[in-house]
Amino acid sequence: MRRLEIPQSDCSAIRLVSEDGVKKLERFAELVCRWTTKINLVSRSTIPELWDRHIVDSVQLFSCANEQQRLWLDIGSGGGFPGIVIAVLAEEFTPKLGVTLVESDKRKSVFLSEACRQLGLAATVHCQRSENLAPQAACVVSARALAPLTQLCAHAERHLRSGGTCAFLKGASADDEVVEARKLWKFDLDRLESLTDKRSSVLFLKGLGRV
């Protein structure tokens, strides 16, 4: 059985995912591998390292979750990273936190709905573009490998409630993207080095607004 830890944003504690939670994530990994033979959920070259490359990478975003939050919105959910992973963790640690996944690709949204059904998750799936979705007043808006930071801020602003947090996973271009985004957006930034790739970053934005 894998040991899976969630570092807290204030580095004061570490939450250990239960055996049941890890089993559920392993079941999700099996579903991703099976469906990827039919539709392009993740790059097939990354399948051998699916756990670290996609699941553990997604887990990092959950460090900003807390018991006061009520809605986590994941946009461009694709193959369920980080959305399904977040839903599994929320079920265990923050059961009052609802999770909504937004994916415009119909085949991928069908997969997301089926994954939620098989894993017994209460997450909601919307098959549409986030800019066409009614404002959600989310406590957290997340995204992974979706768009440059400037565009992500525009997508997030529509759905983020006052005082909410943006949680984004970014690669080696994070520095340049932050510089570009600050030309149009103001935000407080908490940036952590990715646990899965030293070239990548976990970005938490608060106080998002237009310049």
Q: What is the CA radius of gyration of the chain?
A: 16
Q: Count Cβ atoms below 10 Å from residue 205 Cβ, excluding itself.
A: 25
Per-residue pLDDT tens digits for 152-197: 999 999 999 999 999 999 999 999 999 999 999 999 999 999 988 8
Q: Considering only CA atoms, which of 46, 99, 45 is closest in space to residue 77?
A: 99
Helix (H, G, I), strand (E, B) or coil at 198: coil
- DSSP at 130: G
d(CA 195, CA 211): 32
Asked whether the beta carbons of 65 and 96 are under 8 A apart, the reply is: no
Q: Give me the chain's average pLDDT, please.
A: 93
Are 79 and 111 in contact by the 8 Å Cβ rule? The answer is yes
DSSP string, 4-28: -EEE-TTSS-EEEPPHHHHHHHHHH
For residue 23, with 0-12 CB atoms within 10 Å meaning exposed, 13-18 middle and 19 or more buried, which class applies? middle
pLDDT of residue 32: 96
pLDDT given at position 2? 81
| Both tokens assigned to 90 | 């929320």
Q: What is the pLDDT of residue 145?
A: 83
- Domains of the chain are 5-210 (3.40.50.150)
Higher pLDDT, 187 or 10: 187
d(CA 152, CA 102): 14
The structure tokens listed for 39 are 């539709």
Whole-number pLDDT of residue 13: 57
pLDDT of residue 202: 95
pLDDT in tens, 113-138: 999 999 999 999 999 999 999 999 99
Write down the pTM of the prediction.
0.94
pLDDT of residue 48: 87
Is the pLDDT score of 12 beyond 90? Answer: no
Q: What percent of the chain has pLDDT over 90?
A: 83
* CA distance to 92, 127, 147, 171, 187, per residue, from 32 (Å): 21, 18, 22, 22, 34
What is the predicted pLDDT for the residue at 134?
97
Alpha-carbon distance 57 to 161, whole Å?
Answer: 25
Q: Is the confidence at residue 8, as pLDDT, over 70?
A: no
